[in-house]
């Protein structure tokens, strides 16, 4: 096609580009543009419209303008106000600006124009027809996906038969950015323009399809939620009409579930139970059971932990502040802390504190929790007979509830508390199950990671719980259960230890508890020692605390009655507060006697001295036992008699013609234990051979038929009792020598401890 050179006024557009065949309104504000329009109106109404490269330029030069634009005819000019003129232009054909002749007072340039159908002549008629149909079909698909855009041009596009104008018309009605529209404008070659418009139109169709897919998905989800909401509200109204309406638990439960830190298994279980609850009438008993179960699951700290303190110095300080002595327990806790500091994990030990009542087993557990900054939970197992108390009841039973372990975890609010299992030696079994066997899973580190309570029905991790157990004796703890625990024995306190505990801990505690001030009461050391010696007789300090509390109460009364501003308690007036002495000192016998031997016994409240008396009388060879002796002590007496008969110088006729009576005083008190054999053998031998026994000697140990002395337990408590009784020499089994070496010096100070391997040594040391 022939090119034509024209000199035309220029209109520079900001932020837009237009195509041929359009009827466009333009609002004009710049003076150079207004002047260009006036110039066009004065001649043939023709202008050249192009786009600026930079919208910020007000007086453009050639380099600021895009070379390719479009010729247009100004059809109408309307003045809107003083600054703005609106013109109506009809775009004609593409052109290229060859040069810019001037930019003031208006833009004027030389423009080279070309026809609209460049390259069309190279196409066959069938190709042109195919291209027209193809682009029209694409546009129809575009309209199907976006019917609100370009619908008014549909008829015009369908009537257009020329390929070039058709492409411009379609491109005019496709939303696209400035750069793409400019690219189509600059494409003079019609076949190339066909491919360019087809590509843009196909991209737009793909985008619309994707948007439609997203819209459908969103709509489906919204419709589903709206449907569920509608049905839920409908169900609520129906229930209210039936008189079955209740509180909206689901919202509250879902809020708690969102805040709950737990595994996917637990979350799925709770959601399943909530769905079941939604199908039940709220007034039914089954609904109440389901709500209780869901609330239990939501209240458990499945994966919630509390950071523990690993400061050894601070832990040592707290333990020393709260308790005097108990060095083994403190040492073990500090070892645990040291391991946790090095490994940042470490299995929590399962410690069992064994000792007499009142020795601080329960209170040390509370101090350990404070030292480690752990939540403290105490579970008393004394008298627990039902296995369900540990494992929980199955939910099929009426009144079902979780076991004490799960309730303890719930109360603590974290999965790593310190849990005290108090009185574990007093659990028992009956037809409802074996409670001690149920505790095996709780206290076994290999099993308690997945402890399953019958009520909860989901595995609960107990491996992070620090278990402390207490017991008075290990004899009644089943062996498999005892095997899971690390036993630390807490023996009774010496008089010196009781004195320090009373002065440093119990007295200030009772003064505060009874509303007194330090200035109101003073108890001197002699009074405190008298309270320990004459008003208490125990391994622990519980009774000592009661007696101190009694003094504080009497002091409080005197202060209130304003008899005095300060009460002083000394060894001279302690009887005024506590009355006559409750205990007399069990001192050693003043003189050596035949057939009387002082033995040492262990009781649940500490050690005691036990006098055994033997008398020989004419008879028929009978062995008479009195004093409420248990089966073990009765057997020890028979073994002792057999041994004495085997070593005695008396003949068989002597034993056939005499009865031997063994008596243990305080006959109303039951007595039993495996440590009286040595004492009975010595007493029987002394009575038979008429040899006196040293009154300052006490002994303990079991004996065999051949006279071998066997080891015993509770040695510390027994030696404490011997010391209180003023015993100077104590005979103990040789196998117990390591136990004596571990004792404090104040226990054995001034006392001779003799280690015996055979009864011959015992008789040699005891008989005068």
Active-site residue identified among 287, 367, 675, 681: 675
Q: Which of 693, 694, 711, 689 is nearest to 702 (CA)?
A: 711
Sequence-separated (6 or more) residues with CB below 8 Å from residue 187: 193, 196
DSSP 8-class letter at 478: -
DSSP collapsed to 3 states, 315-374: HHHHHHHHCCCCHHHHHHHHHHHHHHHHHCCCCCCEEEEECCCCCCHHHHHHHHHHHHCC
Sequence-separated (6 or more) residues with CB below 8 Å from residue 112: 3, 4, 5, 6, 95, 96, 97, 98
Angle at 474 between CA 472 and CA 476, to 5 degrees: 95
> How many Å apart are CA 215 and CA 217, to the nearest integer?
5
188 by Cβ neighbours in 10 Å (0-12 / 13-18 / 19+) ranks as buried
Sequence-separated (6 or more) residues with CB below 8 Å from residue 431: none
On whether the CB atoms of residues 97 and 69 are closer than 8 A, the answer is yes
On whether the CB atoms of residues 571 and 530 are closer than 8 A, the answer is yes
Ramachandran angles phi, psi of 106, nearest 5°? -150, 165
> How many Å apart are CA 70 and CA 284, to the nearest integer?
82
Sequence-separated (6 or more) residues with CB below 8 Å from residue 308: 340, 372, 373, 374, 416
Is 285 noted as a catalytic residue in this protein? no
> How many Å apart are CA 493 and CA 103, to the nearest integer?
112
- What is the DSSP track for 646-660? HH-SS-HHHHHHEEE
On whether the CB atoms of residues 71 and 8 are closer than 8 A, the answer is yes
Other C-beta atoms closer than 10 Å to the C-beta of 582 total 12
Other C-beta atoms closer than 10 Å to the C-beta of 591 total 7
Other C-beta atoms closer than 10 Å to the C-beta of 149 total 15
Q: Which of 614, 598, 534, 527 is nearest to 567 (CA)?
A: 527
Indicate the angle between helix axes 264-278 and 285-299, nearest 10 degrees: 160
Instruction: Tell me the CA distances in angstroms from 316 to 76, 312, 323, 362, one per residue in order.
Output: 98, 6, 11, 18
Instruction: Tell me the CA distances in angstroms from 296 to 259, 267, 654, 677, one per residue in order.
Output: 15, 13, 77, 57
Strand partners of residue 708 = 758
Active-site residue identified among 34, 180, 498, 718: 718
Query: b or e along 625-662 (b: 16 or more beta carbons within 10 Å of the residue's beta carbon)?
Result: bebebeebbeebbebbbebbbeeeeeeeeebeebebbb
Is 363 noted as a catalytic residue in this protein? no
Would strands 376-380 and 85-102 be described as parallel, antiparallel, or unpaired? unpaired
Ramachandran angles phi, psi of 612, nearest 5°? -115, 125
Active site residues: 675, 718
């Amino acid at each position: 096609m022939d090119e034509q050179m024209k000199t035309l006024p220029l209109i520079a557009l900001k932020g837009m580009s237009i195509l041929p065949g359009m009827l466009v309104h333009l609002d004009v504000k710049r003076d150079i543009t207004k002047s260009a329009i006036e110039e066009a109106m004065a001649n043939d109404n023709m202008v050249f419209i192009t786009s600026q490269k930079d919208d910020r330029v007000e007086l453009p030069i050639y380099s600021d303008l895009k070379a390719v634009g479009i010729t247009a005819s100004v059809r109408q000019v309307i003045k809107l106000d003083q600054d703005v003129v609106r013109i109506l232009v009809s775009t004609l054909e593409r052109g290229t600006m060859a040069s810019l002749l001037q930019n003031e007072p208006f833009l004027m340039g030389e423009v080279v124009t070309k026809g609209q159908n460049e390259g069309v002549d190279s196409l066959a008629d069938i190709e042109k027809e195919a291209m027209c149909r193809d682009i029209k079909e694409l546009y129809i698909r575009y309209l199907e996906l976006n019917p609100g855009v370009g619908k008014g041009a549909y008829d015009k596009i369908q009537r257009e038969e020329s390929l070039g104008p058709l492409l411009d018309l379609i491109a005019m009605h496709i939303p696209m950015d400035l750069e793409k529209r400019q690219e189509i404008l600059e494409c003079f070659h019609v076949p190339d323009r066909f491919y360019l418009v087809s590509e843009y139109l196909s991209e737009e169709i793909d985008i619309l399809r994707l948007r439609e897919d997203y819209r459908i998905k969103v709509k489906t989800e919204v419709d589903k939620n709206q449907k569920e909401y509608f049905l839920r509200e409908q169900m609520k109204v129906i229930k209210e009409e039936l008189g079955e309406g209740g509180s909206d638990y689901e919202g509250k439960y879902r809020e708690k579930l969102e805040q709950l830190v737990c595994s996917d298994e637990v979350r799925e279980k709770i959601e399943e139970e909530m769905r079941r609850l939604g199908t039940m009438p709220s007034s039914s008993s089954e609904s109440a059971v389901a709500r209780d179960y869901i609330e239990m699951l939501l209240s458990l700290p499945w994966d919630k932990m509390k950071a523990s303190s690993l400061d050894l110095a601070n832990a040592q300080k707290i333990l020393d502040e709260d308790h005097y002595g108990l060095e083994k327990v403190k040492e073990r806790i500090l070892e645990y802390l040291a391991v946790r500091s090095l490994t940042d994990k470490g299995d929590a030990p399962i410690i069992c504190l064994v000792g007499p009542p009142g020795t601080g087993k329960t209170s040390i557990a509370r101090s350990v929790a404070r030292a480690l900054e752990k939540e403290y939970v105490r579970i008393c197992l004394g008298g627990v007979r039902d296995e369900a108390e540990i494992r929980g009841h199955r939910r099929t039973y009426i009144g079902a509830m979780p076991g004490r372990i799960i309730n303890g975890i719930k109360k603590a609010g974290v999965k790593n508390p310190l849990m005290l299992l108090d009185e574990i030696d007093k659990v028992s079994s009956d037809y409802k199950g074996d409670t001690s066997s149920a505790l095996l899973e709780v206290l076994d580190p290999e099993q308690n990671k997945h402890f399953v309570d019958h009520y909860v029905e989901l595995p609960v991790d107990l491996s992070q719980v620090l278990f402390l157990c207490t017991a008075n004796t290990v004899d009644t703890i089943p062996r498999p259960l005892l095997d899971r625990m690390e036993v630390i024995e807490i023996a009774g306190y010496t008089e010196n230890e009781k004195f320090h505990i009373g002065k440093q801990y119990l007295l200030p505690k009772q003064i505060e508890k009874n509303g007194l001030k330090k200035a109101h009461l003073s108890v001197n050391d002699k009074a405190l020692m008298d309270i320990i010696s004459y008003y208490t007789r125990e391994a622990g300090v519980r009774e000592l605390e009661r007696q101190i509390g009694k003094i504080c109460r009497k002091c409080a009364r005197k202060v209130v009655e304003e008899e005095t501003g300060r009460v002083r308690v000394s060894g001279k007036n302690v009887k005024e507060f506590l009355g006559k002495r409750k205990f007399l000192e069990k001192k050693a016998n003043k003189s050596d006697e035949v057939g009387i031997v002082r033995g040492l016994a262990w009781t649940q409240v500490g050690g005691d001295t036990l006098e055994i008396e033997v008398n020989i009388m004419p008879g028929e060879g009978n062995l008479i036992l009195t004093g409420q002796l248990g089966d073990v002590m009765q057997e020890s007496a028979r073994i002792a008699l057999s041994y004495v008969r085997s070593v005695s110088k008396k003949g068989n006729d002597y034993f056939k013609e005499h009865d031997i009576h063994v008596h243990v005083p305080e006959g109303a008190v039951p007595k039993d234990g495996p440590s009286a054999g040595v004492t009975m053998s010595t007493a029987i031998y002394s009575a038979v051979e008429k040899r006196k026994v040293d009154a300052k000697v006490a002994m303990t140990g079991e004996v065999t038929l051949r006279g071998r002395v066997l080891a015993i337990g509770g040695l510390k408590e027994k030696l404490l009792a011997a010391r209180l009784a003023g015993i100077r020499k104590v005979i103990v089994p040789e196998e117990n020598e390591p136990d004596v070496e571990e004792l404090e010096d104040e226990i054995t100070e001034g006392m001779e401890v003799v280690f015996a391997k055979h009864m011959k040594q015992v008789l040699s040391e005891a008989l005068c």
